Structure 1
Amino acid sequence: MAAELASLVQRLEVAVGRLEAVSGPAGGAAGSAGGAVAAFVEAYDDIISGPVAQYVALSQQIGGDVQKHADMMKQAFSSQRQLLATASSSQKPSDSVLTALLQPVSKAIQQVQAFREQNRTSPLFNHLSAVSESVPALGWVAMAPKPGPYVKEMQDAAMFYTNRVLKDYKEKDKTHVDWVKAYVSIWTELQNYIKQHHTTGLSWSKTVSNRTGPGPEPDGPVAAASVAPPSAPAGPPEELSGAPGGGSGGGATSRNALFAAINQGSDITRGLKHVSDDQKTHKNPALRGQAGQAAPVRTGPKPFSSATPRPAGSAAPTRTLPPVLELEGKKWKVENQEGAQGLVISNTELKQVVYAYKCNQSTLQVKGKINSITIDSCKKMGLVFDDVVGIVEVINCRDVKVQVMGKIPTISINKTDGCHVYLSKDSLSCEVISAKSSEMNILVPNKDGEFTELPVPEQFKTVWDGQKLVTTATEIAG
């Protein structure tokens, strides 16, 4: 009941916005040149009052960080709606003006993503991640010529986390399951909307009213850019248009001569003059400075010479951040470690988490029992830990090794190339969840203490069995 009430309130807000746009002094920014709301703006309002409103209402039922995130998303869609309204009544502006118009949407996207990063210890982190991974889809307004496929790509990026929400709450709370369905439907409806109204990019108004009489003038950067008269198109080349001031006969004669030359085929090159080597500027530098040359000839970059010292400030120094290994609240932060082979975290507690970020060629050992461990954007990283009661996540990494000494229920590998997981005898029942990753191997201990290496499938086969799709892993030959 609460969800239906919140959805109704959202639809009323959209309706009021439409009335204000039409009844405003100049038709409002949302109006087209005639004062009425454009068709593609109305269609976008249907998305806001439909799946977006349902997502916001269910987020309010869940509460906490999910509700705060939904409020940010609501503002993001509102900012995009304002941009669409502007586009419906203005011609496409210059790139600098367009960048300024896109700023509200861009800032809203950044705010949504920053909230997730600031709340990595949230119990609803999977909800926040699903939204954060897919919210860049609102950037479709700057994508051309295929904004629809871009939205689909961002929607797929959230699938990893929405599946985890479904897994965690499928048997516990139906509200979270409905929340996933409502949120995913936003991007599905947006793709249909783009396909119908903005197939190759954001649609702008084709006409602009040139006001000469009294009345309110359009304001804002788009108005200033849109009312400027377009520059006159360049005329045809003199060879095709005839002599200046001549009639159509001269142009027709030139065109006939052009087509006659083209019809010669390979004989067209007979009239070309052979240029000897002593007349070629690239072989005779002295010719380059002669008068009458239209433009200087580029000589290209000179080969590097060890005898010539390079200027001290020729290349900008790479910015390096200081390494971090500290406990901040309940989170152990391990950041920017380079070549650190003996990193150890001890004296841990069950409620604590470990977050390793941008560590290269380093090893980290976590002693004791801890809540969760996340390895993000690391290269050639080694992780050894005792017990984790939650999950170990490997995200955006390359060439990492994870060794379990005790127990772990779930290991997640996402957007990672090269990951070796060494399981202990007590952790053989753990689940390994992977998505958008390659070169993954699970190493299982034998009785003699050695490990057997088993690859995680990366190639799948899907068939229709008459009632549903059936997907099975396939082995790559070779």
Structure 2
Amino acid sequence: MSSQGLHSLTTIIKRLEAATSRIEDLAAAGWPANSKTQPVPNTGSYVAPAPQVQASTTPAAAAPVSAMPATPKSVVVFEEMVIDGKLKSFVELTSSFAGAPVVEIVGLVEKQFKELRDLINTAAACTKPDDQTFQSLLVPFHSTIEAINRLKEANRKDRDWFTHLMVISEASTFVAWVLNTKPGPHIAECKEQALYYGNRVIKDYKEKDPKHAEWVRSFAATLEETRKYVVEYHTTGLAWNPKGVTIAEYIAKPASTPAAAAAPPAASAPAGGAAAVFAEINQGADITKGLRKVDKSEMTHKNPSLRASSVVPTSSVSSPKKPVKPTKPQALMGKKPAKFALDGKPGIFSNQVVNLFGCKNSVIQIKGKLNAVTLVNCTKTQVLIDSVVSSVSVTKSPSFTIQITGSAPMIQIDSSDSGMIYLSKGSLHAEITTAKCSSINVSIPAEGEEEGIFEEQAVPEMLRTVVKDGKLVTTVVEHVG
């Protein structure tokens, strides 16, 4: 089912509920529901009877839309422990920095957790899909990470808030735990990387405004609570339901959950789907047929004691459970015309931005002019890039090789060792930044030599700091030998 279909079905259900409520009010007031119906005596209100399953020769019998199973425990705990327990207070604290770019980037973090909640809900209802289908479910995560990185780069010159943005950016890949067989340690690493910059925020604002330190600790607490949740419910990666339905079935039947999948055919999702709901609405005056007349003893407006206790005498109508909001993995993809998912590889190409996650012993060639290229948790990966508009980013990717044949204004390397960067003549202006790295070498075209001959130079690793005129002065220690 498409995102539009899911949205339409939800809208239809809301309209049907609103129409029923209106009919009840009109009936209670003694007014006709429409011009074709007779006035309803002003002796009481009406409520819908318990839905009945009609006999059918087909195996798929209709079930009430409201009879949806409870939300899976893994989702309930995630909402209670992480979203309500930690994330909510972090978002509220961030809102106090009104007008700062950190408010917008934390909004993206909140979006990440909601996307994560949707995926956990999907996994609780479905069997593990093939790699290509799974990659399609991860598109929203990639898009949000890209948005976080773009916002960070757009505010690189903001001296007051850039370090805050780095805190968020460094932890943005925590959602990749769904791809990791050791999700707990992965989240712990992301938290550690975020605190690398978070400690700078604490130091810079220790005397100015203690609220900034509280902000850093609140974010770290959110990540830590996420790690604890994952360790308990997703020990070796995202937990799928071996008895669940397929992703295609789940999208086609939003009410399907682990409980619904195990139920007999008569208790399955409505067979008619949106068409059946439209048929109910289009009955016109007949839509009120079968409504049960409510006795005066059950009317709260005639019995103050019922209003005070909020208890209505037992009747044949059971209170429907609140419908579980269906996840919409396809709807979250949005309008993104350019995308290409690697079959069997943890990479996704979308909107001219390439994100590579967890690649090992791979050689990847990316043609054309892109917005950005990002490598995260890649090992012994070689990437050949034509040109990028913003930056090439490498994080926690040991033994990498990057070659740029066109231009690149910025190359960022964090927590990576034994890396090699080959620059073309068109990319000699690139600004290279490194943090927590070692054995990084840059090869540039040798002057006076034919094309293809490079001269390798090492990026300095050792720094020397002295006190001069009451200030710290740091210089690079170069080794010549």
TM-score by length of 1: 0.45
Greater relative contact order structure (CA < 8 Å, 6+ sep): 2
TM-score by length of 2: 0.44
Greater radius of gyration (CA): 1
